[in-house]
């Protein structure tokens, strides 16, 4: 599909660029969740207690996007709807669920500034639903590139859980939907 992408992008750009009046925006909606493997959208975690900073990289994936979009459009805005469910079985912890996105030619995904960060608080035997909506220029930069790299990281502080015990459960990403509004540049 890679070479069909320029055609699609061209159609879209021509449409918005020439269609006069109104907002004339090209609205790109990317269902990032669909690009993740099931093992990445729903993963078990097990972090030993007493750790003030433990991380688990849940997903790290390249996503093919529309070629040529970056050259022909200016980004007006970008939003990300990010939601997850954490089914915590044992242990107590606080932390954050982080989403990263960078153009694929960026060296390191997880050293970049996260696009979205959701605070979480885990207690034994509880199911926690969390969500956030963020706007991000960095997200836009990633999604108008030919290929993006996206990742999800779970960062926990398990200091509240005694040593020798574990914070265990399952996280499930339920929504990861990006919307980028662009204007024609040509």
Partner 1 sequence: MVAQRFGGVKPAPQTTEIAKVTAVGSDTLEALDAVPYRRPAILTRFEVTNVATTVPGRLTARAAKVLLAVVALLSGIAIPDAPAQTIDARRLGMGGVITSDMGSASAANIAFRAVPKGRGHHSFPLPLGLIQLASDPPEFDSDSPDFNVFEIADLITNPPLTLSLSRPDPVSSDVRIYVAQDSLSIDLEDLRRIVPESSLRNGGVTHLPGFAVGFRKAFVGISPLVHVQNQLDLEPALRAVLRDAAPFTTRTRYGLADVGVAQGAVALQAGLAFRAFHAPVPGQDKDEEKGDGDPRRSGATALYVGAAPKILYGIAYGDLRGLGGATTGDTLLGSGDPVSLDVAARTRHAIAGGDGGSGHGFGADVGAVLYWRNLEIGVGMNDLASEIDWKVTERMHVYDDSLDEFTTTPLAIDRDFTSRIPVTTTINVARRFGVTTLAATVVDAPLSTSIHLGAEMWMGLLAVRAGTYRDANDAWQVTGGGGVRFGKIGIDLAVASHQRYIEEKRAVELAASLTLY
Binder of partner 1 out of 18, 52, 108, 125 (CB under 8 A): 18
Among the listed residues 39, 53, 62, 131, the single contact to partner 1 using CB under 8 A: 62
Checking DSSP bridges between strand 73-90 and strand 126-135, what pairing results, if any?
Answer: antiparallel
C-beta of 158: minimal distance to partner 1 in Å?
33
Stretch that binds partner 1, among 6-14, 74-82, 106-114, 125-133 (CB under 8 A): 6-14
Strands 26-31, 126-135: pairing is unpaired
Determine how β-strand 166-184 pairs with β-strand 42-48: antiparallel
Q: Using an 8 Å Cβ cutoff, are 81 and 133 in contact? A: yes
39 sits near partner 1 (criterion: CB under 8 A): no
The one among 46, 64, 126, 131 contacting partner 1 by CB under 8 A: 64
CA distance 101 to 148: 7
| By the rule CB under 8 A, 38 interacts with partner 1 | no
All residues at 6 or more sequence positions from 4 whose CB lies less than 8 Å from its CB, including other chains: none
Instruction: Tell me the window of 56-64, 95-103, 107-115, 133-141 that interacts with partner 1 (CB under 8 A).
Output: 56-64
CB of 7 to partner 1, least distance (A): 7
Q: Is 173 in the site for partner 1 (CB under 8 A)?
A: no
Q: For the chain, first and last CA: distance in Å?
A: 24
Report the C-alpha gap between 176 and 33 in whole angstroms: 5
Asked if 39 contacts 147 with a C-beta cutoff of 8 angstroms, the reply is no
Tell me which of 54, 66, 75, 144 binds partner 1, using CB under 8 A: 66
Residue numbers at the binding site for partner 1 (CB under 8 A):
1-4, 7-8, 11-12, 15-16, 18-31, 34-35, 62-66
């Amino acid at each position: 599909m890679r070479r069909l992408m320029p055609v699609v992008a061209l159609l879209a750009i021509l449409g918005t660029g020439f269609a006069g009046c109104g907002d004339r925006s090209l609205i790109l909606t990317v269902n990032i969740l669909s690009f993740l493997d099931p093992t990445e959208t729903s993963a078990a975690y097990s972090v030993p207690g007493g750790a003030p900073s433990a991380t688990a990289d849940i997903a790290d994936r390249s996503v093919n996007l529309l070629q040529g979009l970056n050259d022909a459009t200016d980004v007006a805005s970008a939003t990300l709807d990010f939601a997850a469910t954490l089914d915590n079985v044992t242990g107590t912890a606080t932390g954050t669920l982080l989403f990263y996105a960078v153009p694929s030619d960026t060296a390191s995904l997880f050293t970049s500034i996260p696009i979205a960060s959701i605070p979480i608080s885990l207690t034994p035997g509880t199911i926690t639903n969390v969500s956030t909506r963020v706007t991000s220029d960095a997200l836009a930069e990633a999604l108008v590139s030919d290929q993006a790299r996206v990742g999800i990281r779970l960062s926990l502080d398990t200091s509240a859980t005694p040593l020798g015990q574990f914070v265990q459960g399952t996280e499930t990403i339920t929504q990861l939907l990006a919307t980028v509004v662009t204007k024609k540049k040509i």
